[in-house]
Amino acid sequence: MTRNVQLAERAEELLGLAVRATAPVAGGDVARATKLRLSDGTSALMKAVSQAPADFFAVEVAGLRWLGEATDGVSVPEVLAADRDCVILRWIEPGRTHADAASRFGTALAHTHDAGAPRFGAHLTGPDGYRDGYIATLPLPNRPADSWPEFYAVRRVLPYLKLARDRGAIEADDAAAIEALVGRFATLLPEEPPSRLHGDLWSGNVLWGADGEPWLVDPAAHGGHRELDLAMLALFGLPNLAEVLDAYQQVHPLTDGWEERLPLHQLFPLLVHACLFGGGYGARAADTARRVG
């Protein structure tokens, strides 16, 4: 490890500790990630975003802490410091997943979900009684709703469908196919009390520690239907997913038909990806809607 003076001095200002060395960390799509070796012998992860919204990292920190409050839930990294431009987390030495670790993750994720949320939507209090969040670099609308079908339609699918259309990331007939399916959400999506969701639970946001402990990172936390988190895990290929789901079901069995509903809950992340990356994600979302419909 060498020492990036600018990053080291910023971290020292926030932590009150000397930074002996820094090293870039690969894998982040949004933030610049750096490993810090601190003078007390520990290590930390610093994530920085230039020109981030004023509350970007405050929302992330609040989400991590909210998830971390769940009894027996999935662990989250300790927040060491945060400011408008960065957040510094306790370093988690990465390892590899295996069947036993995946089972522990499934059990703990069920407990995290079961910690619940006040309503479908934001858990944070803001000037309007709630606070919107972020998913990657995109705003995440979180105004509460009384039912999951309503919230999923007007806060998750339709805003990103509109943005994808505005950005030329989806064709008009494909957008129409998704809109037609949205009108049927009330009959297709089951009601459950709000769960405590990570909200952006693709495989890259599950960190497997060297000791086999699973950790949650980079949340878009909110109150929602637990099938949304599980659908994201399935969409982007979490290793040992079968073991995760088996263990999850032992704690809180899913409602009949959940496997058939996974594509419905994959519309949201597919549309987010269409907004961010374009390509074939818009068409893939439409194919999903047509298959379900």
DSSP three-state, residue 242: helix
> Annotated catalytic, 72?
no
3-state per-residue secondary structure call for 21-60: EEEEECCCCCCEEEEEEECCCCEEEEEECCCCCCCHHHHH
Structural contact between residues 290 and 174, judged by C-beta atoms closer than 8 angstroms: no
Check: CB of residue 178 under 8 Å from CB of residue 267: yes
* Catalytic residue of the set 55, 166, 173, 200: 200
Q: Is 210 exposed, middle or buried (0-12, 13-18, 19+ CB in 10 A)?
A: exposed
Backbone phi, psi, residue 254, to 5°: -80, 155
Which amino acid is it at 125?
T
CA distances from 118 to 122, 203, 270 (A): 9, 27, 27
Cα–Cα distance measured from residue 258 to residue 269, given in angstroms and rounded to the nearest whole number: 17
- Helix intervals (H) in 148-257: 148-151, 158-166, 172-182, 185-188, 226-235, 241-251
Residues 275, 164 contacting (CB under 8 angstroms): yes
Start-to-end C-alpha separation, the chain: 53
Other Cβ atoms within 10 Å of 91 Cβ, number = 19
d(CA 218, CA 155): 20
Active site positions, annotated:
200
